[in-house]
Chains A and B, each alone.
Chain A
Amino acid sequence: GQQLNQSPQSMFIQEGEDVSMNCTSSSIFNTWLWYKQDPGEGPVLLIALYKAGELTSNGRLTAQFGITRKDSFLNISASIPSDVGIYFCAGIKTGANNLFFGTGTRLTVIP
């Protein structure tokens, strides 16, 4: 099925650094969601975005709904070891019933 492209595929950062990742598509979406998946667990919803240009925060996480509606961005400030995991973006097209998931960004935080 169709997937959204996430970049980077993986990141290795020092504890305390800020992190930026993005999700792009050739299609327009009317909702963007960001999830985090820990090993052996299901994805956990972090942030939901519903309007183009919307900027939403959840603690140290900030996500933005791109103006073109074809992309979204996630930033993590002052990373900590428990931020380790795989971050997925997911989008919903107008009139669609299902989420399209991104390919994931694997984050490693070095203490």
Chain B
Amino acid sequence: DARVTQTPRHKVTEMGQEVTMRCQPILGHNTVFWYRQTMMQGLELLAYFRNRAPLDDSGMPKDRFSAEMPDATLATLKIQPSEPRDSAVYFCASGLDSPYEQYFGPGTRLTVT
């Protein structure tokens, strides 16, 4: 049963600290998406990769957020420095060849105090 995996599942950190979230897309998928979910804003797209190249990161605050794909099996989302307003659930999703059918991971619940 192929699934997207995310680590850690939960992260509590203090304001100003660096946070790194990791995602392993489904083997063979070549598109990866990072989303943030909050009660107020719902699901928001942060970044989108195809074949490891960033295609769209317009939804991501550039001054503190960065997303990379060091290889085809790993995507990372970093926040430095973290702020309380970054508290949310961050989801990674992967797909094959298109943005159409996306399969989500279980999410990383981030709390910044």
Closest beta carbon of chain A to B39's beta carbon, Å: 10
A43 touches B104 (CB 8 A): yes
0/1 string, B25-50, CB within 8 A of A gives 1: 00000000100000001111100100
- A-binding segment of B11-19, B65-73, B80-88, B95-103: B95-103
Task: Tell me, in angstroms, the Cα distance from A3 to B101 when the chains sit together.
Answer: 18
A66 within 8 A of B: no
Q: How far is the CA of A42 from the CA of B106 in the complex (A)?
A: 4
A98 within 8 Å of B (CB atoms): yes
Check B99 against A99 for contact (C-beta < 8 Å): yes
Complex Cα gap A92–B4 (Å)? 21
Question: Can you list 6 A-B contacts (CB < 8 A)?
Answer: A1-B44, A1-B59, A42-B91, A42-B93, A88-B43, A97-B48
Interface-centre pick from A42, A48, A101 (highest chain B CB count, 10 A): A42
The number of residues on chain A lying at the interface, defined by a beta carbon within 8 Å of a beta carbon of chain B, is 22
A78 close to chain B: CB less than 8 A: no
Given the known A-B contacts A45-B102, A96-B99, are A101 and B43 also in contact in the complex, defined by CB atoms under 8 Å?
yes
If over half of B's interface residues share one DSSP class (helix, strand or loop), that class is named, otherwise mixed; here it is strand
Interface residue SS majority, chain A: loop
Instruction: Count contacts on B: residues with CB < 8 A to the other chain.
Output: 22
A1 neighbours in B (Cβ, 8 Å):
41, 44-45, 59
B59 x A92 contact (CB < 8 A) = no
Within A16-65, the residues touching B (CB, 8 Å) are 31, 33, 35, 40-45, 48, 50
**A91 CA to B82 CA, complexed, in Å:** 31
Residues of A within 8 A of B102 (CB): 33, 45, 99
Please name all residues of chain A whose beta carbon is closer than 8 Å to the beta carbon of B105 when the two chains form the complex: 42
Other-chain residue from A35, A41, A98, A103 in contact with B33 (beta carbon distance below 8 A) = A98
**Closest CB in chain B relative to A15 CB, distance in Å:** 27
Q: Tell me, in angstroms, the Cα distance from A43 to B89 when the chains sit together.
A: 12
